[in-house]
Amino acid sequence: MISSKKKALVLMSGGVDSSVSALLLKKQGYDVTGVTMLLSGKSGDASNEINIKDAKLVANFLNIRHITIDLRNEFENNVIEYFCKEYLKGRTPNPCVMCNKKIKFGYMLQFAKENNFDLLASGHYAKIRFNKTLDEWTLQKSDTGKDQSYVLYNLRQDDLKHILFPICEFKKAEVRKIARENGLPVSEKPESQDVCFIKNCHHVDFIKKRCKLNDLKQGNFINRNNTILGIHSGIIKYTIGQHRGLGIGFGYPLYVTDINAEENTVTLGGKDDLFSNGLIASNVNIISRKLMPLSKEIKITAKIRYKYKETPCTTRIYESGEKSLNAKLIFKDPVKSVTKGQSVVFYKDDIVLGGGIIETKI
């Protein structure tokens, strides 16, 4: 039994996963405080009010303290602004990766430390373990069918020892069962979907409104030989691998294979043109220096998007500028739809080695 003096701050969104996380820690003897982050929207927005209300209901039910923190400015500057700028650069961002890096395990982890909490907990499906053989902390995939380790690759050694994922060993159905059996008031609440700060509209409309774009700048659809194929209606409408909604037809399927913001062009090609032999990634974070040393070519697996399968590759991490790391990956077999702006995450079996931002395909 954990000492009751061990203080845990639990990120509570008002959903089932974070609520069960708080419940489990309370049962294990932790001194639990729940915190709900206000990340976007105006005060009084229905969705914000519902989530805060649900989190408070659970906290009252569990007889734990609950606080609300307004992080809308931090979220705007670090996540929403990044999201919009990346699309305007012809890239495809991953706001969940940035939110976990900058907000949940950036600002909130620092908040927990400054306010004398021993641990920060959340309802993520991933494992944190201390590996005695490696003599370091490891982030590991969850084998419960809902692994979220991909969006957590920016965690560092010093972060891992202060973080708990209480539901990491449970499947989603088991988590909901625990909620029901313990009478949690959110046991039947549906899971949230899509980008949390975009509600009831397409990302294109969101970016146009936020960036005050009355009209998107049209440009040329081209092929790999720079032959003009037609006119596109704005680069933020497209992503690599897209073949629907292009508004152009040639009697056979065409796919977006490249987006060039400087030239305002969208390159189209056949399915075979989507495959790449490798990639270059920047802003690389390495969690395990023991398993992924600098300047040494090693064999690993990598995932280039959250819902993609891992693929075998050889990888070398190298320094690029002051305190910056890049990675060069060569795939064992060509990989489809390598996308600038998305994250590539490195794995060795079930251990997350680190990851970075895709800059270009090879």
Active-site choice (84, 96, 168, 196): 196
| Locus of tokens 């845990």 | 8
Catalytic residue among 84, 96, 99, 313: 99
- Per-residue CA distances from 286 to 139, 155, 168, 289, 342 (Å): 11, 9, 22, 6, 17
Active site residue 99: yes
Q: Is 196 a catalytic residue?
A: yes
The 31-38 sheet, strands edge to edge: 65-70, 31-38, 7-11, 119-121, 163-164
CA distances from 329 to 5, 34, 295, 303, 354 (A): 46, 41, 13, 11, 13
Q: Kindly report the number of other CB atoms within 10 A of residue 348's CB atom.
A: 15
Transcribe 260-301 into DSSP letters: ETTTTEEEEE-GGGGEEEEEEEEEEEES-TTTS-TT--EEEE
The torsion angles phi and psi of 242, rounded to 5 degrees, stand at: -65, 140
List, by residue number, the catalytic residues: 99, 196
